[in-house]
A and B are shown apart, each in its own frame.
Chain A
Amino acid sequence: MKLISVLTIICVIAGFLLGLTYNLTADKIRYQEEKAEKDALRAVLPDASDFSKETPASYKGLNTEGRIVGYAYIAEGKGYSSTIKVVVGTDTEGNIVGIKILSQSETPGLGNRITDPNFQGQFSRKSIDDVDTITGATISSRAVIEIVRKAHEKGIS
């Protein structure tokens, strides 16, 4: 009987402390997540000063006059060792103007080079089929290419 009551009391106190901490940090955590998303949107659509959320995964980028300067789509897919989340920015005609990796946990030094500006910069200069993969990180690179392709196709439809 003592076994059950001691363990239960400890769990109850633990639950209370966790609930308290959760409440204390919930707002700041939400702020950080929104900030990360905003920063990524600004990185792919630098001309936009404001963003309007169309669906949970797509945004319209507006300039200071309220005119649409582009669109941004958030997509994710399976990488080599993690889920890769990417934000893809397009102009009003549907051409990709830039991508930004939002989150990934690929192999350090190899797969995580998908976050290098050199790799990400290719998407605005070349067509998706001409993007070069990173040596030693084929799977991670191909994953990003497919995620971008999927997001792009979904977006322009």
Chain B
Amino acid sequence: MKREFLKGLVKENPIFVIMLGLCPTLATSTSLNNTLGMGLAATFVLVFSNLVISAVRDIVPNKVRIPCFIVIIATFVTIAELFMKAYFPALNEALGIFVALIVVNCIILGRAEAFASKHGVLASIMDGLGMGLGFTLGLSFIALIREIIGNGSVFGIRLIKGYEPILVAILTPGGFLTIGYLMGYFKWKSQKS
């Protein structure tokens, strides 16, 4: 059970190892404030959709499983979005369409197909928590680098006065470069051990 939770953090990190959900990763990893919100929303959806999909895995016929999964996932994303609009409007404004796009975040459908539809409810919850936390940690790690280099700040707080930010870090090319280098580093580390 503990293993199901821990694997999503490093060994099977959804961003750096399984390489899923890279589009929202690129887009939202420009500031730490955004990544915490995005990570939490995605984790909420991941845990609850894993829970429900695992619970109904014996009832859902194989031929309609994808539409069923999507409906379940989309429902939780919409619930998360409505809650954000009501209680965290600034975060909702900052994340924009990427909240709704959590529906097509491959991590969620990926874990539903690969794990939740084939394992028990408790294991699926742990898997969802681990993957969600791994996603959040990966996002935040990338954002830490990109925000410091590209905006000279951490969580929006300016670090060094007079630092001229290297803007490309918070634009798309910077995203690709940062994620690429980090992936290379993790791959190298895992090959060494």
Residue numbers of A with Cβ under 8 A of B are 2-3, 6-7, 10-11, 14, 17-18, 21-22, 25, 28-29, 32-33, 36, 82, 103, 105, 107-110, 136
Given contacts A10-B56, A14-B71, contact A21 B89 (CB under 8 A): no
User: Can you sample 13 A-B contacts with CB below 8 Å?
Assistant: A2-B61, A3-B61, A7-B64, A7-B67, A11-B71, A18-B75, A18-B79, A21-B79, A25-B83, A103-B93, A109-B167, A109-B171, A110-B171
B161-193 interface code vs A (CB 8 A; 1 in, 0 out): 000010100110000000000000000000000
Q: B residues 72-118 with Cβ under 8 Å of A?
A: 72, 74-75, 78-79, 82-83, 85-87, 89, 93, 96
CA distance A17 to B75 in the complex (A): 8
Write the nearest CB–CB distance from A111 to chain B, whole angstroms: 11
Tell me if B56 and A18 are in contact (CB < 8 A).
no
Chain A residues with Cβ below 8 Å from B31 are 108
- Report chain A residues within 8 Å CB of B63: 3
> Is B171 within 8 A of A18, CB to CB?
no
Q: Does B151 contact A (CB under 8 A)?
A: yes
The reply to whether B167 and A25 contact each other, CB–CB distance below 8 Å, is no
Contact B86 A6 (CB under 8 A): no
Q: Does B150 contact A (CB under 8 A)?
A: yes
Q: Does B30 contact A (CB under 8 A)?
A: yes
Q: How far is the CB of A152 from chain B (nearest CB, A)?
A: 25
Q: Report the nearest B residue to A11, measured CB to CB.
A: B71
**Interface pair A6/B89, CB less than 8 Å apart:** no
Q: How far is the CA of A105 from the CA of B170 in the complex (A)?
A: 14
Interface contact B64-A108, CB-CB below 8 Å: no
Q: If A25-B85, A32-B86 touch, does A6 touch B171 (CB 8 Å cutoff)?
A: no
A109 touches B93 (CB 8 A): no
List, in ascending order, chain A residues with CB within 8 A of B60's CB: 6, 10
